[in-house]
Amino acid sequence: MILSLRTHVKSMNADDKEVFEMLQKRDRDDEDLDSIALQQLNHLHDRYVTKRSKRDLEAGWNKLTGG
């Protein structure tokens, strides 16, 4: 989840960015994330990473390729 959030750092507000940087540092240091940290990570992931269905991806591909 941390890898997928790295691309969304620029769109985060200051509080979310601070929380993400703390989580990222803990991950880099190979520290285990406790339940509160995992809850924060899930919240950030739900907020910033958009979920796309296969149908949406196929429609976008067909639009680009003209098919």
Separation CA 55–CA 10 (nearest Å): 28
Q: Do residues 5 and 44 make contact, with C-beta atoms less than 8 angstroms apart? A: yes
Size of the chain, expressed as the number of residues it contains: 67
Give the model confidence (pLDDT) of 1-14 as tens digits: 888 899 999 999 99
Which of 42-46, 50-54, 55-59 tops mean pLDDT?
A: 42-46
Q: Please report the DSSP string for 44-66 in residue order.
A: HHHHHSPP--HHHHHHHHHHHHT
